[in-house]
């Protein structure tokens, strides 16, 4: 079974205050020494932005700097592999399993494609590559991971945006901090939504009005399709390199070898 692979989008996100002026972010750091000071300042900033004491305390109290998350962030080497090596290692057995998933959830896929225009093969490719169809979603504290990466200087602005979005998920009572478990970079659920994607695109599609990207296949597939449609996916068109839809795949993940893998795997599933 293929293990979890985490792929991060690298688009630039601004961390803005509630006023028209940008908030002065807490000072970042490259080791654990200043983390507690940073966290205290960050809590104050979030209170000033209007988050409740309940959300701030339940989400941020007692968090510790996670050295392993930093090591994982610095150690992403798979993107340097050749496409052939990368594709063969990442997709072993996925066409067979993916086709079985498409048969099992045929009615859900049909409803999702009718509403969003994203084909089942593309959604299945994403689903399989991100977590092997929900088998490897990760068990780390999302709040701890995001706080560590927000404090870390390498991509502080990006992960500060994600941490603020994670607080909004808690504030809106979609998930509790304890329920928010995932991969090392703070991804949520079976297609590894970052918190900003959850806030912008996650929906309930199974009729219970509760968003569940961990256990509800309809919610997982519809939310992923909503993201693709929201980022410009054109229904009925192809998705190979050079197409408009391939550019949408590139927004899902910036690693070129992963983009090619998504595209090829989806075409293989369509055969």
Which range has the worst mean pLDDT, 68-72, 80-84, 88-92, 239-243? 80-84
What pLDDT is attached to residue 51? 98
Which of 224, 232, 165, 216 minimizes the C-alpha distance to 191? 224
| Mean pLDDT (whole number) for 224-232 | 98
Query: Which whole number is the average pLDDT over 104-126?
Result: 98
Do residues 142 and 62 lie in contact, with contact meaning Cβ atoms separated by under 8 Å? no
Phi, psi (degrees; rounded to nearest 5) at 3: -80, 170
> What average pLDDT score do residues 143-170 get?
98
pLDDT in tens, 173-196: 999 999 999 999 999 999 999 999
Which tokens go with 135? 């088998």
Rounded average pLDDT over 37-42: 97
Measured CA angle at 153 (ends 156, 247), to 5 deg: 50
- Give the C-alpha separation, 135 to 4, whole Å: 8
SS3 139: coil
pLDDT of 76 higher than 90? no
Grade residue 79 by pLDDT with cuts at 50, 70 and 90.
confident
Which domains are seen in the chain, by residue range?
Answer: 32-65+139-186 (no CATH), 81-137+199-270 (1.10.530.10)
What confidence score (pLDDT) does residue 26 get?
Answer: 62
pLDDT at 73 over 80: yes
Would you say residue 16 has pLDDT above 80?
Answer: no
d(CA 100, CA 105): 9
Q: Which residue's structure tokens are 């200043």?
A: 34
Give the whole-number percent of the chain exceeding pLDDT 70: 90
The predicted pLDDT at position 33 comes to 95
């Amino acid at each position: 079974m293929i293990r979890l692979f985490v792929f991060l989008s690298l688009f630039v996100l601004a961390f803005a205050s509630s006023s028209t002026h940008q908030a002065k972010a807490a000072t970042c750091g490259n080791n654990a020494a200043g983390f507690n000071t940073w966290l205290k300042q960050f809590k104050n900033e979030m209170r000033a932005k209007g988050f409740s004491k309940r959300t701030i305390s339940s989400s941020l109290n007692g968090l510790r700097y996670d050295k392993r998350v930093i090591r994982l962030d610095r150690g992403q080497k798979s993107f340097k592999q050749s496409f052939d090596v990368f594709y063969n290692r990442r997709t072993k057995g996925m066409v067979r399993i993916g086709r079985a998933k498409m048969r099992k959830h045929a009615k859900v896929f049909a409803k999702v494609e009718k509403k969003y225009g994203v084909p089942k093969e593309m959604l299945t490719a994403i689903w399989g590559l991100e977590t092997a169809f929900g088998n490897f979603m990760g068990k780390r504290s999302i709040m701890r991971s995001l706080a560590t990466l927000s404090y870390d200087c390498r991509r502080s602005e990006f992960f500060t945006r994600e941490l603020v979005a994670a607080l909004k998920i808690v504030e809106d009572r979609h998930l509790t901090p304890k329920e928010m478990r995932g991969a090392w970079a703070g991804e949520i659920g079976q297609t590894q939504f970052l918190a900003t994607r959850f806030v912008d695109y996650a929906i309930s599609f199974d009729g219970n009005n509760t968003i569940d990207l961990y256990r509800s296949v309809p919610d997982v597939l519809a939310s992923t399709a909503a993201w693709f449609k929201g980022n410009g996916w054109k229904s009925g068109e192809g998705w190979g390199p050079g197409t408009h839809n391939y550019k949408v795949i590139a927004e899902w993940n910036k690693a070129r070898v992963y983009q090619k893998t998504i595209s090829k795997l989806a075409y293989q599933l369509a055969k």
